Structure 1
Amino acid sequence: MTIVTTERLILRDWTADPADLARIYDIYSRPEIARWLGVASGLPMTDPAQAAERLRSWQDRHAADHGRYGTWAIEARDTGLVAGTVLLKPLPGRDEAVRSDDIEVGWHLHPDSWGHGYATEAARAVVAREFATGTQRVYAVVSPGNEPSMAVCRRLGMTHVGRRTDWYGGEEVETFVLAAPGV
């Protein structure tokens, strides 16, 4: 299912199609991606079967969200290539089993799709969609040292509010916030 489209992108559900599963594995088996996704992420993947497991975990996590939150594929319109993932979801608290009221936007792109502005364009689209629901602010949390993701945050107009340990089991993350227009 398509969630939102932009000038260059289609943001849609990841599927169990073999091409999607292969791309999930190709992205999340890469150390240059996994290194930024936290110690509890279970990454990098080491077996292609893990892609189907990861897809099921995303689907289960968002099953009750009725499409509002999710972990979606970023597909380039002109090529059909899936560039990566964009996510929008309630941040897990210090107890990772409990959702906070804070909403997170995030992105994970395959290296062959870096430098095209896809992360910024996809994140901007899902954030605008979320603001339309009345949400007042959206956060991005970035592993310390992940300069490319911090640059995406800045391009989105997000404000850096320092390092925080409120979420993801108390893991220290660089925190950025964007307020809804008029807030």
Structure 2
Amino acid sequence: MVCKAASMPWPCAARLKSDRLLLEPLSIEHADVMVNVLAPRELYRFTGGEPPSAEELRARYARQARGQSDDGTAGWLNWITHPRNGGPPIGFVQSTLHQAAEGMTAELAWLVTPSAQGHGFATEAAQQVATWLHSIHMQELNALIHPEHEASAHVARRIGMHSTTISPDGEVLSRKRLAATDTR
């Protein structure tokens, strides 16, 4: 499936499943349940900010669900992460897409609410998205990680990303180049 952007087509998020998780494409309707997932203040230790209200999430999700930036130069893919056996959401995975000279690149971000952390859910969700992005011919995956956020750095390593010496805005860039033969 392809979303038609102003300047070029961007892929649309597909519903994804892993062994333990269901990754559902983001919709505005997720705001009311995600407000609880995003409420714990410890989630903002490395990123800053405050827990969003339901109204703020509805506005944010309305923008994100469009699938592209206002100027059309970036594609946006967002998934809400649920346990596959049912229950409320436990987090999300986001990907911002860019067209580069060597092909399309994706910047990944993931979050799991504190009550569900420590069980490998972030790694499983991020790996499922990375595998799907590879299947749609993404050339490179990137993640910006706070240098003290060891849990996120661990997720990046587990999905095959490698830290670089590049540090935009004080975060460390982790990267994985996807070759045509890479099927992970």
Note whether the superposition's TM-score is higher than 0.5.
Answer: yes
Q: 1:15 aligns with which of 24, 27, 31?
A: 27
1:50 alignment partner in structure 2: 56
Equivalent pair of 1:2/1:10 in contact (CA under 8 Å)? no
CA shift at 1:2, angstroms? 5.2
* Paired position in structure 2 for 1:112: 115
For residue 62 of structure 1, the aligned residue among 61, 65, 68 is: 68
Secondary structure, counterpart of 2:93 in structure 1: strand
Aligned-partner Cα distance in 2 for 1:163–1:86? 23
Structure 1 position 162 matched with structure 2 position 165: yes
TM-score, structure 2 as length reference: 0.75
- Higher mean alpha-carbon deviation, 71-80 vs 46-55, is at 46-55
8 Å contact from structure 1 (residues 4, 125) kept in 2: yes
Instruction: Please state how far the C-alpha of 1:29 moved relative to its aligned partner.
Output: 3.6
Please say if 1:26 is aligned against 2:50: no
Q: Give the C-alpha shift of residue 141 in structure 1.
A: 1.0
Structure 1 counterpart of 2:65, one-letter code: Q
Instruction: Tell me what 1:96 maps to.
Output: none
Name the count of aligned residue pairs. 163
Moved more, 142-151 or 43-52: 43-52
- 1:38-78 CA distance string (max 9 Å, x none): 5xxxx31353321212211211353899xx84111011112
Alpha-carbon offset, residue 102 of structure 1: 3.6
2-structure distance, mates of 1:103, 1:46: 25
Name 1:180's counterpart in structure 2. Answer: 178
Query: Aligned partners of 2:158 and 2:38: how far apart in 1?
Result: 24
1:128 alignment partner in structure 2: 131
The structural deviation recorded for 1:164 is 2.1
Cα 1:62–1:24 shift into 2, 3 Å: farther
State the distance in 2 between where 1:146 and 1:25 align.
23
1:3 corresponds in structure 2 to 15
Structure-1 residue corresponding to 2:152 = 149
TM-score w.r.t. structure 1 length? 0.75
Structure 1 portions without partners, runs of 5+: 92-100, 166-170
- 1:80 counterpart SS class: coil
Q: Which secondary structure does the structure 2 equivalent of 1:178 belong to?
A: strand
% same residue? 21
Structure 2 residue runs of 5 or longer lacking an equivalent are 1-12, 99-103
For the residues of structure 1 that align with 2:14 and 2:137, how far apart are their CA atoms?
22
Deviation digits for residues 126-181 of structure 1 (CA, Å, limit 9, x no counterpart): 1111112222221111122111100111111211113422xxxxx22111111224
Partner AA of 1:56 in structure 2: A
The alpha-carbon distance between structure 1 residues 158 and 14, as it changes in their structure 2 partners (threshold 3 A), is same
Once residues 74 and 152 of structure 1 are traced to their aligned partners in structure 2, the CA distance between those partners, rounded to angstroms, is 15
